[in-house]
Amino acid sequence: MTLTGHSLIANRPLAGHGKTTFGVNPATNEKLEPAYSLLTEKQLTEATVAAAEAFASFSTLDPETHARFLEAIADNIEAIGEELIIRACLETGLPAARLQGERARTTGQLRLFAGVVRQGDFRGVRIDPALPDRTPLPRADIRQRQIPLGPVAVFGASNFPLAFSTAGGDTASALAAGCPVVFKAHNAHPGTGELVGQAIAKAVRDFGLHPGVFSLVYGPGSSIGQALVADPAIKAVGFTGSQSAGIALMRTAAARPEPIPVYAEMSSLNPVFVFPGALTGDVNALASQYVAAVTGSSGQLCTSPGLLFAPTGEAGDKFAAAVGLAVSSCAGQTMLTAGIAGSWNAGAEALGSANKVDVIGQGTPGTTENAPAPSIFGTSVSEFVSNPVLHAEVFGAASLVIRYSTSEELVDAAQRLKGQLTASLQLTATDYAAAAPLIPVLEQKVGRIIVNGWPTGVEVGHAMVHGGPFPATSDTRTTSVGTLAINRFLRPVAYQNLPQELLPVPLQDDNPWRLNRRINGVGNNAAATVRAEVNA
């Protein structure tokens, strides 16, 4: 594919009238061609107006066409081939194997949502047929379904150039819901974004959809991003990134004449709680697993464990020593951008210079630019609960080991945590009684609780929750990974006493789309009709 260096607005390239930017190879700090022209706020409205115009037809697609459209996007992304992986490697410094896996996750979740669209349960059809003879008052015919919110603004993430980017989870779930998408590309990997954007645009063309179903925009993150969220055509926002940027978007969305929801995934320390029983086994293996979770992808994962609670005493000392040994053999990996590497250096320095914090172990810097040495620090639980500096996220390969003496201290520390995406427990059956009081505390603090595993590696499926209380996310009721993510972009509407001729297809008695529906509160077979239920 040919990179144009322009935004893709409703299926046509549009040169920006603003400044230009380049992708940068973080391993060398060299600029990558082509230059990308940035849109002005005035030009941005071409994308949002087109998205609004596309909504009526796209939101009412029949399930089979809709599903095949999502599958076509996946096919088109795979058809790009190694060109996509090569460009993503150059723009992010991530290894090819990691990006190949991320591409598979991207196409896999598009196909997963195609299945969701075909099944149709997300439409949430509920029917309470009329009861004209009910006393003392008759009941009207009331039918409910979930409908798409409208055009969605999606922001690409720096750390996932594919799976949380142009055709990533937010875009896939919004399109599956029936919402057109205006995608704000991340300026750190513009070429990767354009290649995937072209794949989506091709699917839009091939299925004869309104071109406003998808637009890809390049612009200054602060001004264009804020303008996009403030645009009256946009009805919801999907965002993955820093807490400061997420909160800024939330404020803009809340200040609109018509406030809209912002689904922001922002920051998380992902605490790991190691119980004494876990240290009776292979301590070196446990330490190596922890260090691998901290340093994988240079620690640039939203689920990287930034905290680990370990017991005091001889077993805990052996574990800490094993952690120090394991991390000392690690070399730094190229971080995504020079700015992210700089922020890591500042955060690690603040953590290491905090009161009563020691260095447990440190690796060596990498051989490329922006590849700082992985570092793991240590402190006591009493210091942790009293020092807010130790609760700050350091995005990258750094973590803090916190030593505790009693399970009560562990519960107290957990209660003082802010909202997190995950919490992990390393334990054996001998620890169950001590761990039991921690579970209800963690339920109020995190979106996913893991036993004898590590938080990195988020399965994309029906039961996954990738969310959590603020500041992990802006809305603790939602997930940005898995099929439940589609619910973010839907709202319920009830229809009372509408004749069959005016009812939307999912609510009609004959059930043309063969949906599973709840009738009088009871689930029915997809092939059943309201008329058959009422006459039974």
Question: How is 355-422 classified by DSSP, letter by letter?
Answer: TT-EEEEE-B--SSTT-PPPEEEEEEHHHHHH-GGGGS---SSEEEEEEESSHHHHHHHHHT---EEE
Q: Taken in order 478, 484, 489, 492, is the CA torsion positive or negative?
A: negative
Token code pair at residue 142: 């009331």
- The series of mean pLDDT values per 10 residues for the chain, 536 residues long, is 95 95 96 97 97 98 98 98 98 96 97 98 97 96 98 96 96 98 97 98 98 97 92 98 96 98 97 98 97 97 97 98 98 97 97 96 96 98 96 97 97 97 98 98 98 96 97 96 98 98 97 96 68 48
Quote the pLDDT of residue 534: 46
Quote the pLDDT of residue 536: 44
Counting beta carbons within 10 angstroms of the beta carbon of residue 138, is it exposed (0 to 12), middle (13 to 18) or buried (19 or more)?
exposed
Quote the pLDDT of residue 524: 78
CB 178 within 8 A of CB 61: yes
> Which of 129, 123, 112, 16 is CA-nearest to residue 62?
123
Token code pair at residue 328: 């000392």
Quote the pLDDT of residue 44: 97
Token code pair at residue 73: 């996007």
Quote the pLDDT of residue 56: 98
Strand 126-128, strand 517-519: pairing: parallel
- How is residue 437 annotated by DSSP? T
Longest dimension (CA), the chain: 81
Domains and CATH numbers, the chain: 7-133+147-266+481-487 (3.40.605.10), 272-451 (3.40.309.10), 499-535 (no CATH)
Active site positions, annotated: 265, 302
Counting beta carbons within 10 angstroms of the beta carbon of residue 353, is it exposed (0 to 12), middle (13 to 18) or buried (19 or more)?
exposed
Quote the pLDDT of residue 531: 54
- Residue 217 pairs in a beta bridge with 184
Quote the pLDDT of residue 1: 80
User: CB under 8 Å to 515, separation ≥6 — which residues?
Assistant: 120, 121, 123, 125, 506, 526
Residue-level length of the chain:
536
Counting beta carbons within 10 angstroms of the beta carbon of residue 136, is it exposed (0 to 12), middle (13 to 18) or buried (19 or more)?
exposed
**Model-level pTM?**
0.95
Cα(494)–Cα(127) distance, integer angstroms = 9
Cα(81)–Cα(29) distance, integer angstroms = 26
Quote the pLDDT of residue 530: 52
Collapse the DSSP code of 116 into the 3-class scheme (helix H, G, I; strand E, B; otherwise coil) and give the result.
helix
- How is residue 38 annotated by DSSP? P
* Virtual torsion, Cα 260, 263, 267, 271, nearest 10 deg: 130
Cα(421)–Cα(482) distance, integer angstroms = 14
Q: Taken in order 333, 334, 335, 338, is the CA torsion positive or negative?
A: positive
Residue 351 sits at the vertex; the CA angle it makes with 345 and 352, to the nearest 5 degrees, is 85
| Span 26-72, pLDDT tens digits | 999 999 999 999 999 999 999 999 999 999 999 999 999 999 999 99
